[in-house]
Structure 1
Amino acid sequence: MTAESKPAQPAPSDRVILCMKWGTKYGPEYVNRLYAMVRRHLKGEFRFVCLTDRSEGIRAEVQCLPIPALALPPGSPERGWTKLTTFEADLHGLQGTALFLDLDVVIVDDITPFFEVPGEFLIIHDWKRPWRITGNSSVYRFTLGAHADVLAKFRREFDAIRGQFRNEQAYLSDEMQRKGVLTYWDAAWCASYKYHCIPTWPSNYWREPVIPKGARILIFHGVMNPPDALAGRSNGNWRHARPATWIAQHWRE
């Protein structure tokens, strides 16, 4: 590939890290530690934005902005639908390339390549049922304002969409596939703590979880979060795990 044909890369000032915190499930320490992990593992400058309804205790380097209203009917199951508001046509005037990260991820290696790999929309390919197109939205990248139609359609047809799709990542993957822009990260980059770090039975009872080769971000889906993994709490998870003492080296300010 010649220099002229290489895809344009976002300037450091155009890189936005997005996260979202609503309610009380996650405290401000999750945002603060996520910022610190990004700062250690992303080369160059970036803007770190937390869309939130509670900014108390969040460090000053993080720009806290309101979560756009989704206007779900009262009592509707949330199921991650709020994440779709990242696709507002004008998200508080933010511009550039956004990398969305769930609050409970653990970054263990350089994430600069997440901004360098070509693609219009990138997401994790779900590990549990790889024959489906559904992505895991713990880590996804897009151009801010570029896919406002996805959010507009959800607001317009939310009853039908919520009847067809179980959660936001299923709907989002389907829409991006229809648009012809659905692309997945390198399979090694985003590893599931549950599936890839915990040793298989029965060695999980005496072997400590490990960081898989090539992993850059560890994803905590289900009932276990980083402090649970650190302490060896299964919280009812289907697989017992010993304490992952190395979590403390990464999940910190």
Structure 2
Amino acid sequence: MNQAAGNENSSEQKTVNVICIKWGKKYGPDYVNTLHSMVSRHLSRPFRFVCFTDDFEGINDDIEVKAIPKIGFKDFDEQVPWTKGHGWLKLTCFANPLYDLEGPTLFLDLDIIIVGSLDEFFEPEGEFMVIKEWDKSDATGNTSVFRFDIGAHEDALEHLKKDPKAAIADVRNEQEYITHFVDRQNKLTYWPEKWCRSFKRHCLRPFPLSFFQEPRIPEEAKVIIFHGKPHPDDALEGRSGKWYRKVLPTKWIAEYWR
């Protein structure tokens, strides 16, 4: 168990959970270690940090590491390549029970940068809180940062397992599936808009300023989301990952992403 220092009232607060998931080779253990370090600096209440993974190698000893939960669905449990299950393993955190975890839980993607306090993410009321997807006009949320109570959304897994083909017929990806499912139950709530900002949409300067001005941290931002390209290590070095997008070396990343 981990506990951030510096909060005189921490003994009066209930322990919360911060979880992440790592599978395959897209991100190395350094991403898990860095995420834990950022959470430790930006969350003042008592917390458990747990990484679910298929490879324990290289993850720091002070991080709780557990195998990706088995949910009784072959595509997920065997991580079958090129299936919806293999790309949607984030959903396994809705298993009930989820090891010995209980209570309020903040899920964080590995490829984010925390630039402000996480304390406020545990304060608003809501059964499922998530980022409002920036380019969608429907209920879709971006699941890079979401909060839920352990065991509260097991029905989303059961619905998928019962008839996978029908369950995913009208969605493109995992975040559409879960946020649409929760929205149909009137349990979906979004974070304040300025808390979670997209690096590509809100940090990069518009053309042609992007050729001359470094990306910025938006006002009131707490978490910067890196979806698609570039990843944080790319942006730090000025690699955009796309020929049509100019990204100057972003020096502030080194200050926060450590």
TM-score of the pair, normalised by structure 2 = 0.90
1:112 aligns with 2:119: yes
Tell me the distance in 1 between the aligned counterparts of 2:84 and 2:178: 17
Q: CA deviation at 1:198?
A: 0.2
Q: Is the 8 A contact 1:223 1:237 kept in 2?
A: no
The counterpart of 2:139, out of the listed 127, 133, 140, is: 133
Amino acid in the other structure paired with 2:257: W
Q: Is the 8 A contact 1:18 1:49 kept in 2?
A: yes
Tell me the distance in 1 between the aligned counterparts of 2:206 and 2:85: 33
* 1:71 counterpart residue number: 74
Q: Is the 8 A contact 1:15 1:96 kept in 2?
A: yes
* Structure 2 unaligned regions, length at least 5: 1-11
1:94 aligns with 2:101: yes
Q: Is the 8 A contact 2:128 2:187 kept in 1?
A: yes
Matches within 5 A, 1:12-27: 12-27=13-28
Q: CA deviation at 1:114?
A: 0.2
Amino acid in the other structure paired with 2:49: F
Query: RCO (CA 8 Å, sep 6+): is it higher in 1 or 2?
Result: 1
* 1:245 counterpart residue number: 251
Q: 1:20-47 deviations in whole A, cap 9, x for unaligned?
A: 0001111110000000000000012100
Matches within 5 A, 1:177-192: 177-192=183-198
Q: CA deviation at 1:163?
A: 2.6
Tell me the distance in 2 between the aligned counterparts of 1:107 and 1:74: 31
TM-score of the pair, normalised by structure 1 = 0.91
Q: CA deviation at 1:248?
A: 0.2
The structure-2 alpha-carbon separation of the partners of 1:42 and 1:195, relative to structure 1 and needing over 3 Å to count, comes to: same
Q: What SS class does the counterpart of residue 164 from structure 1 fall into?
A: coil
The structure-2 alpha-carbon separation of the partners of 1:182 and 1:242, relative to structure 1 and needing over 3 Å to count, comes to: same
Q: 1:209-250 deviations in whole A, cap 9, x for unaligned?
A: 000001000000012110011001011164211111110001
Tell me the distance in 2 between the aligned counterparts of 1:194 and 1:112: 25
Tell me the distance in 2 between the aligned counterparts of 1:171 and 1:48: 26
Tell me the distance in 2 between the aligned counterparts of 1:140 and 1:181: 13
Q: Is the 8 A contact 2:52 2:68 kept in 1?
A: yes
* 1:201 counterpart residue number: 207
**How many residues are paired up?**
241
Query: Root-mean-square deviation (CA), in Å?
Result: 1.5
Task: Name whichever of 63-72 and 207-216 sits farther off.
Answer: 63-72
Task: Name whichever of 116-125 and 236-245 sits farther off.
Answer: 236-245
Q: Is the 8 A contact 2:15 2:45 kept in 1?
A: no
Tell me the distance in 1 between the aligned counterparts of 2:132 and 2:98: 26
* 1:3 counterpart residue number: none
Q: What SS class does the counterpart of residue 163 from structure 1 fall into?
A: coil
The counterpart of 1:103, out of the listed 95, 98, 110, is: 110
Tell me the distance in 2 between the aligned counterparts of 1:223 and 1:215: 20
* Structure 1 unaligned regions, length at least 5: 1-10
Q: Is the 8 A contact 2:18 2:107 kept in 1?
A: yes
1:81 aligns with 2:84: no
Q: What SS class does the counterpart of residue 168 from structure 2 fall into?
A: helix
Q: Is the 8 A contact 1:173 1:182 kept in 2?
A: yes
1:161 aligns with 2:167: yes
Identity %: 45
Q: CA deviation at 1:74?
A: 5.4
